[in-house]
Amino acid sequence: MTYALRCRECGKSWGNQPRSICEECFSPLEVSYDYQAARSTFTRENISAGPPNMWRYSALLPLPQGFEPVVPAGFTPLLKAAHLARQWGAKNLYVKNDAVCTPTLSFKDRVVAVALANAKSFGFDTVSCSSTGNLANAVAAQAARNGLKSWIFIPADLEAAKVLNTQVYGAKLVRIAGSYDQVNRLCSQIADERHWGFVNVNLRPYYAEGSKTVGFEIAEQLGWRLPDNVVVPMAGGSLITKIKKAFNELMELGLVERKPVKIFGAQATGCSPISTAVKAGQKDIEPQKPSTIARSLAIGNPADGHYAIKTISESGGWSEDVNDSEIVECIQILAETEGVFTETAGGVTVGCARKLYRQGRIKPEETTVLCITGNGLKTTDALAGEYEAEQPIAPKLSEFQAYLGKQLDVAEAVGV
Amino acid sequence: MTITVQIPTALRRHTSGTDKVTCSAANLGELFTVLDSQFPDLKPHLRDEAGQIRRFLNVYVNEEDIRFLGGTSYAFNDGDEILLVPSIAGGWE
């Protein structure tokens, strides 16, 4: 596939190199493709014949010549969410379940797989990132798999599981006493000095393209058609723009029929720079100081905020946000109705979708996909205190019968 | 009063390689005026045609985003360290 970096604003071409901003106008770089050439390679037939992972879409990913995948990320289930739909009076509701994306149980495995393919071809022996957790896990695991060293920078207050899930792969973990935005700013400065492949700094244009595979999969799994709506959680705001780019590419290359898709963004109220801007009709975000249990979404100064707002507004979508107690409630609702245990970010997505149905912005009969991007096992502390530890009973049938009787009494008392 | 400004690598092409500037600007507007006069090539990279700070340029004062300090109305203090850091967006199409 022929691809190159191009400035999003002034159009200058930068070839292929570890670089994310245009030195002419300081604007972000984007991977552009030869779509004419892709017409013969990016076809339904070729994709169907490909492997059961994200590499089936290689023809529209920025992958160096001779790239051999070592991580079978992606192609996660698209689940029809009938029970959740019934609860909301909806009819065609789906969950795109990246809680089971491999190898590290979040959609970040997709972006890192593409970033590291390029890191190796650029000759980096060390890769790095600033992260709210999931990215840290993905970089650490895939660096190990690719034989690269990794340096990971995180805010000091991350969930214990996300810290452990980084350290176990042998990554050098640097905890920063500050917010993600401060970690990110520091990493921009470090990337300026060290010859490291920062997946979300100097490799960011390549990295971000990996997110398109979520959009490609949704369309393919719906039988090569686009949904009416997607609801996407937003941290830095990159995923939502890339899902839209994927839909556009599928329409452009004739893999799906053209149709408008409304793009809805989901944030936590305690960190809602993008949804605040969308609701106020603004084109740019005002940075915030995050305070939310959805730490994977706690980016107060989202780099792609401007483009996320544009994506949402131009699609006719909307953005909502939910508070911490709604996040916990919606983690439980998704688990109880569909058997999917998501992290706090997924609680945000489910909670915002519920609001959007109630507001009538999403109609019951429309085909709607909720993007669940991470796994609940990484943020179990969010549920601390929600469930009482049961007193053990003796291994005797009579004990169990007594226990069951008590349970039934309780159920009757609360009217279940 | 003296403040220091760090110039990121991406912009040093326009400052003949200078990575640090010391001056006595009292606020962001004055700082840009100082930089404009010292490095005329830098000007269009910091502000757009309307004179607004470029969308993808973040300004920090002693590690804090200047927007939390009042933005252009913030008065620099002696010894302030100013960072110009590009906002790394992934693009959109």
DSSP A159-186: -HHHHHHHHTTT-EEEEESS-HHHHHHH
Mean pLDDT along residues B1-25: 91
Q: Which one, of A345, A322, A305, A326, lies nearest residue A269 by Cα? A: A322
A204 touches chain B (CB under 8 A): yes
Do B88 and A208 count as a contact with CB atoms less than 8 A apart? no
Please report which helix (H) or strand (E) contains residue B60, including its range.
strand B57-61
Report residue A328 as tokens: 């916990």
Handedness of CA A19, A23, A26, A28 (dihedral sign): negative
Contact A23 B13 (CB under 8 A): yes
Measured in angstroms, the CA of A146 and the nearest CA of chain B are apart by 24
Task: Report pLDDT for A95.
Answer: 98
Span(s) in chain A for CATH 3.40.50.1100: 78-104+211-383, 108-209
b/e per residue, A258-279, with b = 16+ CB within 10 A?
Answer: eeebbbbbbbbbbbbbbbbbbe
> How many C-beta neighbours within 10 Å does residue A288 have?
20
CB contact B20 to A (< 8 Å): no
Does A29 reach chain B within 8 Å, measured CB to CB? yes
Tell me the C-alpha distance between A161 and A215, whole Å: 28
Helical H segments across A222-367, by residue range: 238-252, 273-280, 305-315, 324-338, 344-358
**What is the predicted pLDDT for the residue at A1?**
57
pTM: 0.94
Q: Inform me whether the pLDDT recorded for B91 exceeds 80.
A: no
CA distances (Å), origin A211, targets A171, A200, A298, A364, B61: 24, 13, 19, 27, 33
Residue positions counted in chain A:
416
Does residue B65 surpass a pLDDT of 80? yes
The token pair that represents A188 in the structure block: 């921009």
Flag whether residue B63 sits within 8 Å of chain A, measured between CB atoms: yes
pLDDT confidence band for A408 (50 / 70 / 90) = confident
Cα dist from A85 to A352, A370, B32, whole Å: 14, 11, 55
Amino acid identity of residue A184, one-letter, is N
Identify which has the larger pLDDT, A303 or A251: A251
Assign a CATH topology to domain A108-209.
Rossmann fold (3.40.50)
pLDDT at B93: 35
Q: Which CATH architecture has domain A78-104+211-383?
A: 3-Layer(aba) Sandwich (3.40)
Cα separation, B51 vs B43, whole angstroms: 10
Q: Which residues in chain B have their CB less than 8 angstroms from residue A248's CB?
A: 93
- Nearest residue to A309 via CA among A344, A346, A272: A272
Across A124-133, average pLDDT:
96
User: Do residues A110 and A213 make contact, with C-beta atoms less than 8 angstroms apart?
Assistant: yes
Average pLDDT score over residue span A285-298: 95
Structural domains of chain B sorted by starting position, each given as residue range(s) with its CATH number in brackets: 3-86 (3.10.20.30)
What tokens appear for B12 in the block?
A: 């040093």
CB-CB: which of B65, B87, B93 is closest to A245?
A: B93
* B48 confidence band (pLDDT: 50, 70, 90): confident
Residue A130, pLDDT > 70, answer: yes
Contacts of A178 in chain B (CB under 8 A): 63
Q: What is the ipTM of this complex?
A: 0.87
Among the partner-chain residues A26, A178, A208, the one whose CB lies closest to the CB of B54 is: A26
pLDDT at residue A219, as a whole number? 98
Nearest Cα neighbor of A171 from A203, A148, A189, A194 is A148
Instruction: Count the neighbouring beta carbons within 10 Å of the beta carbon of residue A67.
Output: 16
**Which tens digits make up the pLDDT trace of A74-122?**
999 999 999 999 999 999 999 999 999 999 999 999 999 999 999 999 9
Copy the structure tokens of residue B72.
């252009």
Give A131-151 pLDDT, tens digit per residue.
999 999 999 999 999 999 999
Chain A residue whose CA is closest to B8: A192
User: Is residue B13 within 8 angstroms of chain A, CB to CB?
Assistant: yes
Contact A128, A198 (CB under 8 A): yes
| A25 pLDDT more than 90 | no
Is the four-CA dihedral A210, A216, A222, A223 of positive or negative sign? negative
- Quick one: DSSP state of residue A343? -
pLDDT value, residue A416: 60
Cβ partners under 8 Å of residue A156, min gap 6: A175, A176, A177, A178
What CA–CA distances, in Å, run from A57 to A41, A44, A54?
Answer: 10, 10, 6
Report the alpha-carbon distance of residue A283 to residue A89 in Å, rounded.
Answer: 33
Q: Closest-CA residue in chain A for B68?
A: A287
Lookup: tokens for A78: 């698209």
Least confident span in A18-32, A274-288, A390-404:
A18-32
Determine contact, residues A173/A167, Cβ cutoff 8 Å: yes
Q: Is the pLDDT of residue B77 over 90?
A: yes
Q: Enter the DSSP assignment of A270.
A: T
Asked if A75 has any chain B CB less than 8 Å from its own CB, the reply is no
User: Residue A310 has what pLDDT?
Assistant: 97
Return the pLDDT at B89: 57
What residues of A are in contact with residue B85 (Cβ under 8 Å)? Answer: 185, 188-189
Q: Distance from first CA to last CA of chain B, Å, rounded?
A: 46
Residue B9 contacts A, CB cutoff 8 Å: yes
Contact B8 A310 (CB under 8 A): no
Q: How far is A188 from chain B (nearest CA, A)?
A: 7
Query: Is the backbone peptide bond immediately before A28 cis, with ω within 30 degrees of 0?
Result: no
How near does any CA of chain A get to the CA of B67, in Å?
A: 7
Residue with tokens 């596939």: A1
Whether A155 has its CB under 8 Å from any CB of chain B: the answer is no
Helix (H, G, I), strand (E, B) or coil at A129: strand
Identify the H or E element spanning A152: strand A149-155
- What is the four-CA torsion angle of A163, A164, A169, A174, rounded to 10 degrees? 30
User: Chain B contact for A286, CB < 8 A?
Assistant: yes
Q: What is the mean pLDDT of chain A?
A: 95
Percent of chain A whose pLDDT exceeds 70:
99
* B10/A26 CB distance under 8 A: yes
Read off the DSSP letter of residue A293: S
Tell me the mean pLDDT in the region A174-197.
92
Q: Which residue has the tokens 């991977």?
A: A31
User: What residues of chain A lie within 8 A of the CB of B83, using their CB?
Assistant: 185, 189
Q: Which of A25-29, A52-56, A219-223 has the lowest mean pLDDT?
A: A25-29
